[in-house]
Amino acid sequence: MIVIEKILSEEEVTHYRQQLSKCPWGDGGKTAMGMAASVKNNNQADSSDTKVSQLANQLLSRIGETPKLVSAALPHKIFPPCFNRYSETEEYGYHVDAAVMRIPNTADVLRSDVSMTTFLSEPEEYEGGELIISTEFGQQQIKLPAGYAVVYPSSSLHKVTAVTRGQRVAAITWMQSMISETSIRQNLYQLDQTIQNLIKENNTSRAELDNLHNVYHNLIRQFAKL
C-alpha cells in the first residue's frame, strides 16, 4: 500500500470537481460485478459523457508521468479511471475487485493486480468515507488530501465506510502489472526507490549504480509477464 502525493495539483483538483459537477451521474451499483453489487451504494459519473472521458484520459496520462506510481505498479494495462461520489449514508461494503475486467469499448481484458484511488475531496469536506483495506498487519484506514492517491493490491479485501456528512468524490482505476506477484513487485519497488535515493544523495559511484540498475532490470526481465 503506497501513497502517491499530489498526483493532481490543487488547480487540477478544482478543474476535475467543476467538470464533474456538470456531468450526468448514475447508480454505481449497476457497474459492480458479482457479490460486490449487493454492497455498493454510491453514484458513478457516466463514462460515455465527453467531459468524463476527457478527465479519465488526463488522469491516465498523469499515471504514466508519475515515476513513483510507475515504480510501484509497473503497469502493463490500465483500466480507464472511473469517478465515484458518496453522499450521506452511502457506502461500499467489504468486497474484492474483479480479477478480470473488460476494458470498455474494446475486446481487451486486463487482470486486476493493482487498484488505485485518487481523492478529489478534502478530508474536512466529509465525515466517514474512509477507505479501509485489510492487510496482513490488520485494517488500514485511508483518508487522504485531495490530489493524493493510494495504490494497493486488487486482491485485498476493502471497503468505503458510510459518509455521515458532506460528499466524498474520488477516481478509481485498476492496473495489470507486468509483475503479477505482489511480493516480487514490492521488492522491485523497494529496490528502485533505493536506487533513486542513492542517485539523489550523489555519494555512490556510477559503477555501483550501474550494477544496481543491471540487477533491477534483469529481475524485471525474469519475472515480467507481457
* Domain at 26, CATH number: 2.60.120.620
Do 151 and 41 share a structural domain? yes
**pLDDT value of residue 104:** 86
Is 95 labelled as part of a ligand binding site?
yes
What count of other Cβ atoms lies within 10 Å of the Cβ of residue 139?
12
**What is the number of domains present in the chain?**
2
Report how far residue 115's alpha carbon sits from residue 160's, in angstroms, rounded to the nearest whole number. Answer: 14
If one compares 215 and 28, the residue with the highest pLDDT of the two is 215
Q: Are 51 and 24 in contact (CB under 8 A)?
A: no
Angle at 120 between CA 31 and CA 41, to 5 degrees: 30
pLDDT digits (tens, 9 = 90+) for 11-26: 999 999 999 999 999 8
- Indicate the range of 44-48, 91-95, 135-139 predicted with least confidence: 135-139
The mean of the pLDDT values for the chain is: 92
Q: Domain holding 215: CATH number?
A: 4.10.860
Among 177, 196, 214, which residue terminates a domain? 177
Report how far residue 193's alpha carbon sits from residue 200's, in angstroms, rounded to the nearest whole number. Answer: 11
In DSSP notation, 142-206 reads E---TT-EEEEETTS-EEEPPEEEE-EEEEEEEEEES---HHHHHHHHHHHHHHHHHHHHT-S-H
Do 92 and 37 share a structural domain? yes
Do 160 and 94 share a structural domain? yes
**For residue 33, is pLDDT > 80?**
no
pLDDT digits (tens, 9 = 90+) for 104-132: 888 899 999 999 999 999 999 999 999 99
pLDDT digits (tens, 9 = 90+) for 49-98: 999 999 999 999 999 999 999 999 999 999 999 999 999 999 999 888 88
Quick one: average pLDDT of 168-188? 95
Do 125 and 51 share a structural domain? yes
Is 165 labelled as part of a ligand binding site?
no
Which residue segment(s) compose the domain that 191 sits in? 182-223
**pLDDT value of residue 1:** 85
